[in-house]
Structures are given as structure tokens and as C-alpha cells.
């Protein structure tokens, strides 16, 4: 058996006894933290007696972080989401996040009456939930989800063992900080910065262990709920019938439009006067040339 295994038991016992000193530990329930550390200490001691360095894989003292990610289709998204939220609270869990939204599809306007129409909008209701329940209740919550599901698209269950990471952080924190001696050649500012960084690293490792304990005690379930595409039908006003002018107004508008069209035609032909002059000149020139040819032709026949 390796020597450092003997150091784990007193080190973790000391950590468990001092778990309620800081304000952050008190916020996380210092009694729970101490009991977690004590149970793990006993497990390490038992494993050491059996010639092992860490508890067995099936030991309850190991820090297993359980998560689940499920994507299902249900008959009614709102009803299923409400059911899961109530069941979660009944298991002494809590809802981290719950969002409901609609993904819009194709839309079409269908004539209904003279002044109205049907607006048909296709949509798909979607809900995204993030739930946390005691780790032992995760399977029950997943079973409840399976009962309300019509079709399961994907389901992913994970069990991440954080035991070694937890033990590594704990053992590093139990090592006392070695003060750095300040000499004439050393920079006091750099020395103070180094010591502060070491203290911050110790605090971060301690917080990381609290996070591991929290995740090990409460499993996380992420759910995406969806339902079949639905149609939202509304009777809306026909914009064309509402905005159309009266007959008299349309008659005056038509007369004005016709006058404008006639004016545009006249102006268009007036703009072509150079081409008209060229055409007239061409016709006159052609006729003169034709008449000269007619006069010259008889004189040749007489000779």
C-alpha cells in the first residue's frame, strides 16, 4: 500500500470538520458537506484496507455526476412542460430554465368574404427545459417523461465519475502554503502576487469541489419538447377591399389617368420631329430621282 494513502484519511477528516467555517460553505449547507467528506473518508479507509487506492466503482461515496438529454415529441407541449415542472418540484428539485416558443412555417391567405379573408399560419410548438432533481430521482423523472412522450427522437444518459478530480483538489488544498522568503534580490511585488495567486488557486479548487458535490447530489435533465405542426387560422380584414376607393373617385382617377396617357403619347410623337423631317426629305429626294430617270429613258430610245 502506498504511503500517501495513509494521508488521505486524516486530511479529509480535517476538511470535513472545517467545512462550515466560510460563509460560502454555510450557504451550501455545511452539515451536508461535512457528511459527504466523512462518507468519502470512510470509503477511502475501507479501500485502503482492501489494498485499493480509491473506493470501488459501485461505492456510494464516489462522486458520480449524472446528466440526461432527451428530445421527444408530445401531444401538447404546454401540458407536458407543466407536468414535468410539477413533478420536478414534487421530487424536491427545481426548474433551472423553461422556455416555450413557436417555430413559424408556411403562411397563406385564403378569400373568405368580400371584405375579409382567412390567414392560415403553420407553426410548431417547442419547449426547452433544464431540470435538476436529486440524483436518485433522475430515473423516475425520465420515466415520467417517457409516459407523456409520443415519439422519442433522442435520449442520452451520462454518468461522469468526478471522484479523482475531487480527491486531487482536496489533497492539494490540504497542503499548507509555503511562505516565500523575501531576500534582497527578490521583488516584493512579485512575491506578494505569487502568494495571492496560490491563495486564489486554493479557493478555486475548493469551489470546484463544492460544484462537484452539488452536481453529484442533483442530476441535470435537459429536455426538448415538440409537437406536430399545427395551423393557426384567423379571420382578418382584406386590405384590398378596405383600401379601395369609391366608384366616383375611381372614375375621376380613370379620366385623369387617360388624359395623362394621351398627353404622354402626344409628347412622345413631338419628340420624334427630327426623324419625321428626315423621312419627308428622304421621300422628296427619292421622288426627284425617280422623275429624272423617267425623263432620260425616252431620249435614248429616239436616237
Residues 152-164: tens digit of each pLDDT: 999 999 988 888 8
Asked if residue 22 and residue 78 are part of one domain, the reply reads no
**Per the domain annotation, does 185 fall within a domain?**
no
Band the pLDDT of 3: cuts 50, 70, 90: very low
**Half-sphere exposure (Cβ direction) of 217: Cα atoms closer than 13 Å:** 15
Alpha helices (runs of H) in 91-187, residue ranges in sequence order: 138-148, 163-174
- Name the nearest CA neighbour of 168 among 41, 39, 8: 8
Mean pLDDT of 208-235: 91
Residues composing the chain: 303
* Position with higher pLDDT, 123 vs 187: 123
**Per the domain annotation, does 267 fall within a domain?**
no
d(CA 111, CA 117): 4
Mean pLDDT of 189-206: 81
d(CA 122, CA 56): 54
Chain centroid to CA 133:
23
| H or E segment to which residue 205 belongs | helix 188-217
* Position with higher pLDDT, 32 vs 13: 32
**Per the domain annotation, does 68 fall within a domain?**
yes
Please identify, among 62, 79, 97, the residue that sits at the C-terminal boundary of a domain: 62
Instruction: Determine the pLDDT at residue 96.
Output: 94
| H or E segment to which residue 27 belongs | helix 23-27
Asked if residue 134 and residue 15 are part of one domain, the reply reads no
Instruction: Determine the pLDDT at residue 82.
Output: 93
Instruction: Determine the pLDDT at residue 245.
Output: 64
**Per the domain annotation, does 243 fall within a domain?**
no
Please identify, among 45, 62, 79, the residue that sits at the C-terminal boundary of a domain: 62
Kindly report the backbone phi and psi dihedral angles of residue 162, in degrees, each rounded to the nearest multiple of 5, phi listed first: -105, 20
**Per the domain annotation, does 100 fall within a domain?**
yes
Instruction: Determine the pLDDT at residue 58.
Output: 67
**Per the domain annotation, does 82 fall within a domain?**
yes
* Position with higher pLDDT, 303 vs 131: 131
Instruction: Determine the pLDDT at residue 164.
Output: 83
Q: Reduced to 3 states, what is the DSSP secondary structure of residue 136?
A: helix
Query: What single-letter DSSP state applies at residue 75?
Result: S
Please identify, among 237, 259, 292, the residue that sits at the C-terminal boundary of a domain: 237
d(CA 48, CA 54): 7
Asked if residue 134 and residue 230 are part of one domain, the reply reads yes
Instruction: Determine the pLDDT at residue 220.
Output: 93
Place of cell 534582497: 184
Q: How far is CA 110 from CA 78, 114, 119, 197, 243, in A?
A: 29, 12, 6, 69, 18
Instruction: Determine the pLDDT at residue 67.
Output: 92
Asked if residue 229 and residue 124 are part of one domain, the reply reads yes
Place of cell 430515473: 139
Asked if residue 230 and residue 129 are part of one domain, the reply reads yes
Asked if residue 81 and residue 58 are part of one domain, the reply reads no
Burial code (b: 16+ CB inside 10 Å, e: under 16) for 169-189 equals: bbbebeeeeeeeeeeeeeeee
Domain that holds residue 91: 64-160+223-237
- In this structure, what C-alpha cell is assigned to residue 146? 417517457
Strands (E), the chain: 64-74, 94-113, 116-134, 149-161, 218-226, 230-237
Asked if residue 136 and residue 96 are part of one domain, the reply reads yes
Specify the number of domains making up the chain: 2
d(CA 49, CA 57): 16
Asked if residue 147 and residue 19 are part of one domain, the reply reads no
Asked if residue 100 and residue 233 are part of one domain, the reply reads yes
Asked if residue 125 and residue 228 are part of one domain, the reply reads yes
Asked if residue 139 and residue 38 are part of one domain, the reply reads no
Amino acid at each position: 500500500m502506498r504511503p500517501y494513502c495513509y494521508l488521505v484519511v486524516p486530511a479529509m477528516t480535517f476538511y470535513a470538520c472545517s467545512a462550515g467555517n466560510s460563509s460560502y460553505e454555510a450557504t451550501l449547507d455545511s452539515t451536508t458537506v461535512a457528511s459527504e467528506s466523512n462518507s468519502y473518508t470512510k470509503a477511502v479507509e475501507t479501500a485502503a484496507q482492501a489494498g485499493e487506492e480509491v473506493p470501488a466503482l459501485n461505492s456510494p461515496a464516489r462522486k458520480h455526476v449524472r446528466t440526461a438529454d432527451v428530445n421527444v415529441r408530445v401531444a401538447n407541449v404546454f401540458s407536458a412542460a407543466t407536468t414535468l415542472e410539477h413533478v420536478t418540484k414534487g421530487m424536491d428539485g427545481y426548474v433551472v430554465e423553461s422556455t416555450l416558443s413557436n417555430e413559424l412555417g408556411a403562411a397563406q391567405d385564403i378569400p373568405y368574404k368580400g371584405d375579409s379573408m382567412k390567414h392560415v399560419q403553420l407553426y410548431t410548438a417547442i419547449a426547452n427545459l433544464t431540470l435538476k432533481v436529486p440524483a436518485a430521482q433522475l430515473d423516475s423523472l425520465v420515466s415520467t417523461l417517457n409516459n407523456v412522450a409520443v415519439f422519442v427522437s433522442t435520449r442520452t444518459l451520462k454518468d461522469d465519475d468526478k471522484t479523482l478530480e475531487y480527491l486531487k483538489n482536496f489533497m492539494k488544498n490540504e497542503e499548507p502554503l509555503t511562505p516565500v522568503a523575501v531576500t534582497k534580490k527578490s521583488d516584493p511585488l512579485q512575491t506578494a502576487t505569487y502568494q495571492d495567486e496560490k491563495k486564489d488557486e486554493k479557493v478555486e479548487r475548493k469551489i470546484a469541489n463544492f460544484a462537484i458535490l452539488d452536481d453529484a447530489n442533483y442530476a441535470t435533465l435537459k429536455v426538448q419538447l415538440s409537437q406536430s405542426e399545427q395551423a393557426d387560422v384567423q379571420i382578418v380584414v382584406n386590405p384590398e377591399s378596405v383600401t379601395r376607393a369609391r366608384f366616383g373617385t375611381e372614375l375621376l382617377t380613370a379620366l385623369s389617368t387617360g388624359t395623362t396617357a394621351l398627353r404622354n403619347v402626344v409628347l412622345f410623337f413631338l419628340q420624334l420631329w427630327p426623324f419625321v423631317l428626315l423621312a419627308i426629305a428622304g421621300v422628296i429626294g427619292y421622288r426627284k430621282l425617280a422623275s429624272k430617270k423617267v425623263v432620260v429613258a425616252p431620249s435614248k430610245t429616239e436616237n
